């Protein structure tokens, strides 16, 4: 059996539960497995979404809906994490800021994050969590498309 490469001791995989994020999850887990890393799968509940939800048409509590999405996303990561020392975490706040803050607190060596590869006006208006993480984080970042 080959010896594990000790390149990254701690890896953070940011997940939003979307299908476009699957490749980033798989890549992060693969690196974690090969390096024998501690891997943190992080889902950030974007609390700004609570404020934007129209209360007159809502049938469910938005916090409950997002918590269910978060749990589902992290369960998916766990299902793919055989042979990986994995910890799952749900955070609240602005996704890019919370990812960077958590990475700093945990002394993460590598952040693995997916991108939806938005372009033009859509990217300008919506911003990009991956782009903001790249600008703010002090560790290495792998962006997977």
Q: What is the pLDDT of residues 4-41, one digit of tens each?
A: 556 899 999 999 999 889 999 999 999 999 999 999 99
Nearest Cα to Cα of residue 24 among 32, 13, 35: 13
Cα–Cα distance list, 42 to 51, 59, 61, 101, 137 (Å): 22, 27, 22, 12, 15
pLDDT tens for each residue of 64-120: 889 999 999 999 999 999 999 999 999 999 999 999 999 999 999 999 999 876 666
Which residues have a Cβ under 8 Å from the Cβ of 88 and sit 6 or more positions away? 40, 41, 42, 43, 74, 77, 78
pTM score, two decimals? 0.86
For 10-128, CATH gives 3.40.50.620
End-to-end CA distance of the chain: 31
Residue 51 has pLDDT above 50, yes or no: yes
């Amino acid at each position: 059996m080959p010896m594990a490469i000790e390149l990254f001791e701690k890896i953070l995989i940011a997940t939003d539960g979307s299908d476009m994020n699957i490749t980033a999850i798989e890549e992060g887990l693969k690196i974690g497995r090969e390096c024998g890393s501690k891997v943190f799968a992080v889902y950030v509940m974007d609390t700004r979404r609570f404020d934007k939800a129209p209360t007159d048409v809502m049938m469910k509590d938005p916090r409950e809906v997002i918590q269910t999405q978060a749990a589902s996303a992290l369960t998916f990561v766990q299902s793919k994490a055989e042979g990986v020392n994995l910890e799952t975490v749900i955070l609240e706040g602005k996704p890019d800021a919370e990812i960077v803050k958590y990475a700093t607190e945990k002394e993460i060596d590598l952040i693995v994050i997916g991108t939806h590869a938005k372009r033009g006006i859509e990217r300008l208006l919506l911003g990009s969590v991956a782009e903001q993480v790249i600008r703010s984080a002090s560790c290495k970042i792998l962006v997977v498309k």
